[in-house]
Amino acid sequence: MVYRLRKTCNLALFFLVVSGTLPAQADEKEHFLYSYIPGLRHATVRDYAWSPLLYSGIQGVYAIGYSKEGASISDHIVFRFAAGNLTNRWDRVILPVGGAIQTFKLYHAHSDPGEGIHWGWSNHNAFQTRDIREIGNFNNRSEYFTSFGPAMRYRLPFSLFNRQFRLEILADVQLLGFKLQSSYVTSTPRGFTEPSHTGLAAFLQSIDLFWPGSAWNFGIQPSLRYTMKNGNMLCLNYRYEYRWLEGAHVTEYNSGSWHFGVITRL
């Protein structure tokens, strides 16, 4: 238990190092805080080290974000956390707990930042642990990855009943990076299962390349936003994410999350 807690804390600290701070921008940038109330998501997990059976169910999910938008570049960072029991067709229960920090950088020097398509890139840092109480030797699994890939944002402002609305779609595909998974037999990564490997050597032996031949991650998030007179916005978001990780074993995961939130101009 102490080892797992220490491992989770180290991963969280690594998230902050990797995704840490967004680059400083000029003062003309607009700053926004995205405050979402706790939402719900339907998630499914298939871990072939356990079983080919699919586990699914409703989880609680929370997110908070921050963005800086200028005339030529927009930066956005979001933190997500989710937990909740999932079951299979035989009512076996697992408890996945996971979080992510994701950054986006989008470029629009030659287009209107308030509408149209804007291209850029994204960095995604995600981890998940899973416990299955009915099984003794395989009761905990985990994975972590850091990846980079292209990103896209589409904005469409429109008026309805003399009110200002905006449809926004944010999407990303993760292509290159590295991943760290528990081994096929134990909850620890494979490098730590060898007695001769310790510390940094065991960590390096546990790392696999994240690339389209062994891993895949895709996310899309449509959002409907209503602009209030003070410049703040109310928003309704849906995010779909699919993840495939292949290494010591194969893990397949997808989820669809609903959020309601407030976007505050800072």
Mean pLDDT of 190-200: 64
Range of the domain at 190: 2-19+31-265
23-34 exposure pattern, b = at least 16 Cβ within 10 A, e = fewer: eeeeeebeebeb
What is the spatial distance between Cα 176 and Cα 150, in angstroms, rounded to a whole number?
A: 10
What is the structure's pLDDT at 102? 98
pLDDT tens for 91-105 read 989 999 999 999 999
Mean pLDDT of 142-166: 95
What is the spatial distance between Cα 106 and Cα 118, in angstroms, rounded to a whole number?
A: 6
Domain assignment of residue 25, yes or no: no
What is the spatial distance between Cα 16 and Cα 12, in angstroms, rounded to a whole number?
A: 7
What is the structure's pLDDT at 13? 42
Domain assignment of residue 78, yes or no: yes
In the block, tokens 């998501």 appear at 41
Domain assignment of residue 118, yes or no: yes
pLDDT tens for 196-245 read 666 666 667 678 899 998 999 999 999 999 999 999 999 999 999 999 99
For residue 71, pLDDT over 80 is answered with: yes
What is the structure's pLDDT at 133? 74
Residues ≥6 apart with Cβ < 8 Å to 34 = 63, 64, 65, 66, 67, 78, 235, 261, 263
| Half-sphere CA count of 48, side-chain side, radius 13 A | 9
What is the spatial distance between Cα 247 and Cα 106, in angstroms, rounded to a whole number?
A: 32
What is the structure's pLDDT at 120? 98
CA 101 to chain centre: 6
Domain assignment of residue 26, yes or no: no
Report whether 135 contacts 50 (CB < 8 A): yes
Report whether 120 contacts 135 (CB < 8 A): no
CATH number for the domain including 77?
2.40.128
Count how many domains the chain has: 1
Domain assignment of residue 7, yes or no: yes
For the chain, percent of residues with pLDDT exceeding 70: 80
Question: Torsion over CA of 8, 9, 15 and 20, rounded to 10 degrees?
Answer: 170
Report whether 204 contacts 197 (CB < 8 A): no
Neighbouring-strand partners of residue 178 = 146, 209
Question: Which of 63, 42, 41, 27 is CA-nearest to residue 263?
Answer: 63
Report the residue count for the chain: 266
Question: Which of 241, 73, 110, 235 is CA-nearest to residue 172?
Answer: 241
Domain assignment of residue 48, yes or no: yes
Dihedral sign, Cα of residue 47, residue 51, residue 54, residue 57: negative
What is the structure's pLDDT at 141? 84
Instruction: Tell me the pLDDT band of 70, cut-offs 50, 70 and 90.
Output: very high
pLDDT tens for 20-46 read 444 444 457 899 999 999 999 999 999
Domain assignment of residue 24, yes or no: no
What is the structure's pLDDT at 213? 87
What is the structure's pLDDT at 197? 64
DSSP letters spanning 156-196: EEEEETTEEEEEEEEEEEE-EEEEEEB-SSSSSBGGGGSTT
Instruction: Report the predicted TM-score, pTM, of the whole model to 2 decimal places.
Output: 0.84
Q: How many helices (H) and strands (E) does the chain have?
A: 2, 14
Mean pLDDT of 127-131: 92
